Each structure stands twice: as C-alpha cells, then as structure tokens.
Structure 1
C-alpha cells in the first residue's frame, strides 16, 4: 500500500501514462505471485503449443473438431501474451507504469482476442451440433473450406468495432488519479477514472457485450440443447457416454470463460468492485487458458493416444 500512496495524481487531460496497481495491496506476496503467474504462463504456452503440434502431426486428428481446437489454443496463447508479460514485469520491477499508447493497445488487443474467443467457441459448438445431430451430412457441411471460412470469420469479425470501442474509451475526459486498480488495461477500471457522465460509453459497452458475449453464449446453449436432446435418444449407452464426453470438455471451457466475462462486463460502473473484477479477470486471462489443454487432452482418448505417439 506504501507504493500506492506515492503514485502521482495528475490531470489526465495531458496524460502520458497510467499506473497499473495490480496486486500492490499485498506487497509481501509480490514475488510469490510472480512465481505463480510465471509458472501458469509457461504451462499455458507449453500446453496449448502441444495441442497445436499434436493436431498438426497426427493424421487421426485431421478433423474439423481438432482444427478448431488447434485454432482455439493458438488464440489462447495470443490472448495471455497481451496481459501476463506486462503483469510479470510489474511484479518483478515494481515500476507499474504503462504509457497511454501501450495501455490503449493492450485494451484493444484484449477486446479483439476476447471477442474472437467468444465467436470461436460458438463455432465449435456448431461443429458438435452438426456432428451429433446430422452425422450423415457432417463431411459435406463441415468441409475444409467451410472450416477455414468460419475460423477466418471469427478472427476478422469485430476488429473495427473493438478498435472503435477503444478509441471511444480513451476519448473520455480524465481527471484526478491515473492509478488503474487492475493488473491490465480493461474497460471497467478505465471508466472509473473518467470525469463526467459515462452513460453513453457504458451503453456502447453493453451493446458490445450483447454482440460478442451474450449472442454467442445463447447460440452455444441452443446448439447444446439440441445436442443433449439427440444424445439422450441414442440407443447405446456407450454411444451416449462417448458423445457426452466429447461435448463436456467444451462446455467446461464455455462455463468458465462466459461466466466470468458476463459478470465482469454486465455491471454498471458504480457496481464494480476492484477486488472482484481482478479475481474474475484472472479466470478468463489465466485460469481458462491454463486448464484448456488439460480439459481437451485428459478427457479425450484420441488426443492422449496422439500424445503418446508423439512422445
């Protein structure tokens, strides 16, 4: 907390930098947190990198489902690399400053990659829907060209919207403190530093959340409603168990990622708690990417067999 007291309060009309407070309220745990997050980052890079490698080299995994899983793993690596390295640097050096341009860039890329992740999870749910509900048409519907188009659409859709949202956020008038009570530049803590009325900005954020979180989430729920209904009609208990096993991995990732995202972004500025926001943000920036490889490998016999072959 001592470090927090000495950080400058400035008039942000001539802003050049922010200070990311991160976990400065627990100074005695800085090196411990550095070790934990560094270990998590290495696990995320190695685990997701292993999924990308094994799905590329094993012919048995050259299917649409694993094509989407590999893209999702690559997206996770990109997503965590936007926030964790800066957080580790702040924990190690205790400097905590971040330039205006760097903060805006970090926010923009985290929004773009977070939106892509929501859309890609919806695409993966659609893939499972077609595979289980229309198995005879699956090779025709989910051909290689369609898979590439779906992934490209997930990557490209929303880029101009997220850039616009970032520009709108940083065009707000700021005054008083330049201390961001978070470990990365996210929209809710930036709103707290703004002067005047942020109603229009909050409304645009809610529209963004509806488009990129709520709509994909509802599509996923609809897809899995149909999937579960179809699975329950299967005559063989073995077939039902295998189908549920394939879908449950994806549902676990969806529940963790969308749950924390919806709670974080669907609150008005006055209701945001800094401690709770940081805790929820840890879920979609560290916990989900770290457990993603474990969920998709330990619960998947095909991937485990491919890993044994590779090793």
Structure 2
C-alpha cells in the first residue's frame, strides 16, 4: 500500500456563519417549531443550498415572490433584505411575516432613508441584481439611488447635484476593491457624505483578513460557499490577490477535483458567511482519505456578535396562531 502524501491544512478563522446568517436560520427554525410546518420563505434565507435543503427537510417552503404564499401561513423574508414594497404587500394581504434581514443591512437601509430625507441622492457601491442591492435600492423611490459596481462606473454616472450626495455600500464587498471605488467617488465628488460607520460588515472584513493571512503560505485555497454568495466569491478574489492563484470556490467536498490538487502540500480552507462548519469538516474528512493530514488554525480575530430574534418568536404569546389569526 502506497503511503499517503503529507498535507498541512491551514484553517482560516474566523470563517463560516456570521451573526446575521445565524439569526436568519434560527428565525426559520424557531418559526417551524412554534407555528408548525409549513413556513414560507421568500428567496433563499441565505445563499447556501445545504442550509436551504436542511430547512426544507424541516418543512420550510422557499418561493420567489409573495404571490406564491397562501393566506394563513407565516412567511419569512431573507437575510439579504427586501424592498419596501414587499412588507407593504404582505400587510395589504394580512400576511404574518418575520423579517430576517441582517441588522447590519437594516442599518444601511436606515442610513439611505436618512440621506434621502435630508435631500441627498445615494450612490450605492454594490453588485447589480444581488438581493441585498435590490433591497437597499428598494427602500427609496426610483432615481434616489445610483448604483456603481466598478471604478470605471464612477466616471460614467450622472447625478442630480454633485454637492448633495452620500454613498453606501453592499455589506459583503471586497474591502480592498471597495476602497478603490470609494477613492474614485471622492475624487470626482469631493462633497460626498460618508457613512457614520463602515457599511462592509465586520464578518466580511474579518473573513477577508483571515484569508489574507493564510493565502501567501499555501499551494491552494478552497473557499466553501455558494456560487451566488457575494461574500464567498470575494474570498476567492482576496485569496488570489494575496498570493494564492489556485484559489477556488466549492460548494462541498464532492465538488473538489482532488486529482488537480494531488501535488499540493499546504492547503488553505475557509468558508463564506453563509456556509455551515459541517461543510468544512466534510472537506477535511475527504482530504484525510487522500493525504496524511495535519490541521493548523490561523486566527486573526475573535467574534462575539449576537443578534436577537424578533419579539414575535421570543414572547410567550407569539403574534401568529396556527389557525391563521393574528394575535
């Protein structure tokens, strides 16, 4: 029997679930416990098929829009946030809804509203079509938010009044890439107002810093995450920019081409903010089938953030009864 080649795995920490994702998943789980199945969820609660399928097995039903939700059942809005038209429609129909929007995304929404009230047009740095961007732009009337995705976009955008602008960012962007876009914005519009606090969330920043710490010292980096997960895709980009061109996004162990990695001796592993730790453990187990593995954890920050669940799920007399009558 041929001896397995050695492999050192560097595990980035922090990695995986952030407080907003953890809260969103708990909202669905507790709603199922409290009200029974089915509980409807508008869009993927977080961008991870493993999480979605696990919740489906418990009785969650995922839909694209509210018109797919029948009367008399609870509905949960995803962690990415929704345009104002969505809760307005839920209220018009008398639906009981739970908003799982990450509190850090909600802060961006409130800041955009404040700027609008104070007469500023908002320039949003983000990715077109991403649910978080759709939700943020949907907080304000059409035209009140201008989206920029790249440095090149900054030179092209048209604004109503260069002296009355504010910027906001999607919470899951690359910190370094966003800095370049922001510099271009401030150069073109010196009067643009900044957020009171950085919009890119603590978890996104921490995971990118952890990847930067391991990338230069490994032969390849695997990022556990979904192809539609913004923060996971940014981790791949950050790893490549930090010195590991062989960085790739994988959803789970079964997706890994181990033949292409047969020559590696040092492997970095991290997980996007919506990827559960069980998927990391699955990859390590798969590696142990092929290599003599030693694991080292590289920690660059400690996280202790916890977000509370909605009151409807924590009060003894919840706001919804299974019969479909609001309490």
> Which has the larger strand fraction?
2
> Which has the larger helix fraction?
1
Does the TM-score normalized on the shorter chain lie above 0.5? no
Q: What TM-score does the superposition give when structure 1 sets the normalisation length?
A: 0.26
